[in-house]
Structure 1
Amino acid sequence: MPIRRLTVKNIQAHAVSLSSTAVLLLGLTGAGAAHAGGNVCGSPFVPTPVLHPILPSPNFPQSDGAVNCFMWQTFVYLTWPALAGQAGQPDPNASYGSNNPTVWETFRPHNTVFLPHGAKPAPWGNAKAQLALFSARGLKKPLPNVRVLNSTSKKFRAFNSGEAANLTETQQAGGGVLVDQNGQTVYYEMLMNQTEFNYIVNNTLYEANAQNAFAKSTGIELPTNAVEVKPAWKVLSAAELAAKPVRFHTAQALLPGQSTPVTVGLVGLHVLVMPDNSTFEQGFWATFQQVDNAPLQGSTPTGTYSFYNVNCPQCPVNTQGQGNTPTQVVQVFGTTSAAQAVNQAMQQAIVSQNPQSPWQFYQLINVQWPTSGQPINKAGMTVPLPNGSPNTNTLMNPVLETYLQVPNMSCLGCHTNASAAGGGAFGSSYSFLLGHAKTASAGALKAKPR
């Protein structure tokens, strides 16, 4: 299915402006159409996101507002219902917010790409790719539309020597378990889109020694339009499921040690997009959250939160407890004003189109992006890779980096140290996923990161 792009050049070429006819062509309806002429994106030449599965173009004036709109349009695309039988492709005839697997949920989990003994992964879209995940739960075949959750920490592996040399002890301790107010543990995944999958397979980067040799001789650079996502899920209570509308995007999932699915709700999502590796080589790093997660530090909490007890203001915050003791979470760094503008516009548009859509209860916290992109397409580049002078040095999600919410901690700041598998300190294009590759001869490598 061809990708439809909405570019600045298109808008300028038809500068009769976004008339009502153009609005209909873009798929805007209701409140969405009302925002088409607005300026939430910081420029009249930057298209306001629309409720249609369109991948945006990075051809726009560089500003926080423009990048926020780019990532909200990307979010719509990624969270659009997937086309049945076509992994990673949206169903243009589906209704946004229908409770079907989304585009990103049909991406490939990292542990179906980086296999024991560096084995070649099954082709994209092959249902057998996840067979081993279900077999480990005692099931003979994959269950349709059921996720297999294993990790209770965003830190999926130990840092290797090249990474550890450049990361602080605080960052190395960046694991930790998060528990909601119902005593339920939060689970995490890592997935990649077909563009990144093809790059890995075509260059044999799924095997550690081959990956290391490629990094040394050619240099690893994720291609334009490569996408990685890291979702955070919590088990939903009967009360949360009974809400009208349900305030979470839900999925069926197998928890560790279980063979019967439970209903989980999405509470956070990291998105890394390589929009154009000739101008934004360091990528766009966006993080979204469900609006009921936790109060902003310094505010007066009211209502009900997933990760904060309003009746226990004396409870220590952002501190890991023992066992299934609920974590008292506050969001230390709030949503930026530029992000709030597009959040409000998109939430209103979503409600106008589908008042039952759970996506009205999600918001962008911020996007980290390079203001001066620096090339990384050189053989043998070692970590830390250049950071491209990001627009901010601080970006965290309170349910993905609960215990790391301090100034100058960020996605890109950490990922500049991501190194290739196979030893040494060759850069892996800011992706910790590649470090999961294993050797063909000895199975799992020693000390592989998150």
Structure 2
Amino acid sequence: MKKIIPQRRFSISAAAVIAIAVMSVITALPSIAQAQQNPTPSAVVCNASPTWVSNPSLPGDVQNTDNCSFQQYMWQTMLYLVQPVARGSQVRQFETFMPSYGIFVDPGKTPTPWGTTPKPTYCKGPSNLKQGYVFSNLTLQAGVGQPLIDKSLNRVFYGVSVNKPAYDFITGCGLQEAQCSLSLAPDLVEPVGYKVVDIPNLYPTLAFPNSSMELKTAWKILTRDELASKTFYSTKGSVRAPGKNCMENVDLGLVGMHIVSKTPTHPEFIWATFEHRNNAPYCSKTEAQPPLGGNWTFYDPNCKGNCTTNHYAEGKATQVCTMHPWGDPTQGTMPNNLTCSSTPPPGYICDPDTQKYVIQPSTANLQALDLSVQKMLAALPSGDANKLWANYSLVGNVWTAKGTLPPSMQVQVGALSGANNSMETYVQNGVSNIQNPYNCFSCHNLDGKNQGQSLNQAVKVQLPPAGLSHIFNLLNLKTKGCSTGVLPSNRMCAANGGPTK
């Protein structure tokens, strides 16, 4: 029987352009990597700038092509996002982003206007709602659909939000309504009878505008001792666990943050992740003491019974450890317990050029910059709120060489096994049968749904760049929209790959 291989559905000319672009990058990989070469780790210089705190600003793009510049870009971005919106304000810049539940609203309602704080419909919430208040009922991690359980047997809660350019794009193109954007949601199944806009075919260049940012945050319910420790960024919130009718008001501590940024030179987005430094030890050194003192947040060295790490068990606290420090695939256990001596080895991880020009510079620069940031923040005057952010580390950051799309493995640069131990707890080493690095691009790529009822009919759909974001998996499927079968025609949507008429 002839084996039928699913193929992407786009024009020959478009496919040729993509193939030529990818092959040119792959062919030139050593020269591209050499341009990003850094000194050996013992001599690495990748420093923080005091201006990131004294005169915070949001960088418009990465200034240079070297690895350190990408790490600096993300730490500068982070330190800008955590600044107050105005002198004396308790609201941080990142807390002005619009949460997903303010965009994907119930049928018949319009998205929450920008600058207004939304409330979810499933709970009354506090009577005096202020910006920065966290609502969440999201507890299932991407990729596995399982929650992270802390030592108090509470779930970790998650939030997804976007900045104004991303908000304007989503609402301007009507993408908050399910029948408009369901084709961009790879994890959602179209309800029977739904006629959705075929975005991959109609708008193959649809993309978020430059300067768009998306955040994913991870929050734990703080115990009294954790709150008193003052090592977490904390805020008031209301969370709803599965099976509960309404929310409980709690103190929440930030344990993880993804920052995803689109810049003029990187249409694939730059994908960075920060963790609280006391989250968990390295799997290779679980006897280590927490760097901030106290206890590990998600690891119990005195665990009794079934204490398998990074494994979900109903009703039991998750024992978490970091499998690949700094997102370095050569640190820790390689996928499926393979090594570079295996036959065959994980080819990309074990390639000498990949290790020398991609993996080693990323690890060295992340480590060097982390120490530089800690030193800079520690030197701030007593009482400066920015000192708190020394308790967080940039532990992974990935992008593609020259901003190449699709983000195939051969063009990925940075922390090739980057994962957040509070958000990708169970897939830090990928999924079954994976042979090479597993990072943000393993899911956030341009692979759409399979079209066709049987394997020999299946055609893999090529998504437009807007499909890199998985925010559309949070769509309210009860909404409709786009009754004419096309996206709305307006200046915002047309400027970003939507209909021009």
The TM-score normalised by the length of structure 2 is 0.65
CA distance in 1: counterparts of 2:479 and 2:303, whole angstroms: 53
Q: Residue 293 and residue 113 in structure 1: after superposition, are their counterparts in 2 closer, same or farther (change >3 A)?
A: same
1:271 alignment partner in structure 2? 259
After TM superposition, the structure 1 stretch with the greater mean CA deviation from structure 2, 267-276 or 433-442, is: 433-442
Return the letter of the residue paired with 1:432. Answer: H
Residue 177 of structure 1 deviates from its aligned partner by 1.1
Tell me which of 363, 374, 378 is aligned to 2:393. 363
Q: Residue 331 and residue 385 in structure 1: after superposition, are their counterparts in 2 closer, same or farther (change >3 A)?
A: closer
Alignment of 1:273-312 (within 5 A): 273-276=261-264, 279-299=265-285, 300-303=287-290, 304-312=295-303
Is 1:122 aligned to 2:112, yes or no?
yes
Q: Residue 441 and residue 75 in structure 1: after superposition, are their counterparts in 2 closer, same or farther (change >3 A)?
A: closer
CA distance in 2: counterparts of 1:328 and 1:435, whole angstroms: 28
Residue 372 of structure 1 deviates from its aligned partner by 2.9
Is 1:79 aligned to 2:101, yes or no?
no
Residues 379-432 of structure 1, C-alpha deviation per residue, up to 9 Å, x if partnerless? xxxxx7657811143211111100001152111221104659x99763434001
Is 1:235 aligned to 2:226, yes or no?
no
Is 1:415 aligned to 2:438, yes or no?
no
Return the letter of the residue paired with 1:430. Answer: L
CA distance in 2: counterparts of 1:66 and 1:154, whole angstroms: 30
Residue 57 of structure 1 deviates from its aligned partner by 3.5
1:190 alignment partner in structure 2? 160
Q: Residue 295 and residue 241 in structure 1: after superposition, are their counterparts in 2 closer, same or farther (change >3 A)?
A: same
Residues 90-133 of structure 1, C-alpha deviation per residue, up to 9 Å, x if partnerless? x2x35xxx9x3321122111121122337531321134xx13x1
Residue 337 of structure 1 deviates from its aligned partner by 2.4
1:65 alignment partner in structure 2? 68
Q: Is the 8 A contact 1:109 1:192 kept in 2?
A: yes
Alignment of 1:196-215 (within 5 A): 196-211=166-181, 212-215=197-200
Is 1:434 aligned to 2:472, yes or no?
yes
The TM-score normalised by the length of structure 1 is 0.71
Task: Describe the SS at the equivalent of 1:190.
Answer: strand
Q: Is the 8 A contact 2:307 2:319 kept in 1?
A: yes
Alignment of 1:28-427 (within 5 A): 40-41=45-46, 50-51=52-53, 52-81=55-84, 83=85, 91=86, 93=87, 100-117=90-107, 119-127=109-117, 130-131=118-119, 133=120, 135-139=121-125, 143-144=129-130, 145-155=132-142, 171=143, 174-211=144-181, 212-218=197-203, 219-243=205-229, 246-256=230-240, 257=244, 258-276=246-264, 279-299=265-285, 300-303=287-290, 304-312=295-303, 315-323=307-315, 325-335=316-326, 336-355=363-382, 357-374=387-404, 389-392=411-414, 393-406=416-429, 408-417=437-446, 419=448, 426-427=463-464
Q: Is the 8 A contact 1:117 1:439 kept in 2?
A: no
Residue 198 of structure 1 deviates from its aligned partner by 0.6
Q: Is the 8 A contact 1:235 1:263 kept in 2?
A: yes
1:379 alignment partner in structure 2? none
Residue 440 of structure 1 deviates from its aligned partner by 7.5
CA distance in 2: counterparts of 1:439 and 1:177, whole angstroms: 23
CA distance in 2: counterparts of 1:441 and 1:205, whole angstroms: 11
Task: Describe the SS at the equivalent of 1:55.
Answer: coil
Residue 194 of structure 1 deviates from its aligned partner by 0.5
Residues 225-284 of structure 1, C-alpha deviation per residue, up to 9 Å, x if partnerless? 1000110000111111222xx1000010112145552111000001100022xx211111
Return the letter of the residue paired with 1:255. Answer: V
Q: Residue 430 and residue 260 in structure 1: after superposition, are their counterparts in 2 closer, same or farther (change >3 A)?
A: same
Q: Is the 8 A contact 1:53 1:77 kept in 2?
A: yes
Task: Describe the SS at the equivalent of 2:443.
Answer: helix
Task: Describe the SS at the equivalent of 2:79.
Answer: helix
Return the letter of the residue paired with 2:115. Answer: G
Residues 65-96 of structure 1, C-alpha deviation per residue, up to 9 Å, x if partnerless? 11000000000111112x2xxxxxxx2x35xx
Q: Is the 8 A contact 2:280 2:321 kept in 1?
A: yes
Q: Is the 8 A contact 1:118 1:437 kept in 2?
A: no
Residue 302 of structure 1 deviates from its aligned partner by 2.3
Identify the structure with bigger relative contact order (alpha carbons < 8 Å, sequence gap 6+).
2
Q: Is the 8 A contact 2:200 2:462 kept in 1?
A: no
Q: Residue 41 and residue 57 in structure 1: after superposition, are their counterparts in 2 closer, same or farther (change >3 A)?
A: farther
Q: Residue 322 and residue 435 in structure 1: after superposition, are their counterparts in 2 closer, same or farther (change >3 A)?
A: closer
Task: Describe the SS at the equivalent of 1:138.
Answer: coil
Residue 208 of structure 1 deviates from its aligned partner by 3.1
Return the letter of the residue paired with 1:334. Answer: P
Q: Residue 67 and residue 48 in structure 1: after superposition, are their counterparts in 2 closer, same or farther (change >3 A)?
A: farther
Return the letter of the residue paired with 1:253. Answer: G
Q: Is the 8 A contact 1:101 1:251 kept in 2?
A: no
Task: Describe the SS at the equivalent of 1:353.
Answer: coil
Task: Report the aligned-residue RMSD.
Answer: 3.0
Return the letter of the residue paired with 1:326. Answer: A
Q: Residue 301 and residue 291 in structure 1: after superposition, are their counterparts in 2 closer, same or farther (change >3 A)?
A: same
Q: Residue 301 and residue 224 in structure 1: after superposition, are their counterparts in 2 closer, same or farther (change >3 A)?
A: same
Return the letter of the residue paired with 1:292. Answer: N
* Structure 1 residues not aligned, in runs of 5+: 1-37, 84-90, 156-170, 376-383, 444-450
Q: Is the 8 A contact 1:48 1:69 kept in 2?
A: no
After TM superposition, the structure 1 stretch with the greater mean CA deviation from structure 2, 305-314 or 194-203, is: 305-314
Q: Is the 8 A contact 1:284 1:367 kept in 2?
A: yes
CA distance in 2: counterparts of 1:374 and 1:298, whole angstroms: 34
Q: Is the 8 A contact 1:78 1:104 kept in 2?
A: yes
Q: Is the 8 A contact 1:118 1:440 kept in 2?
A: no
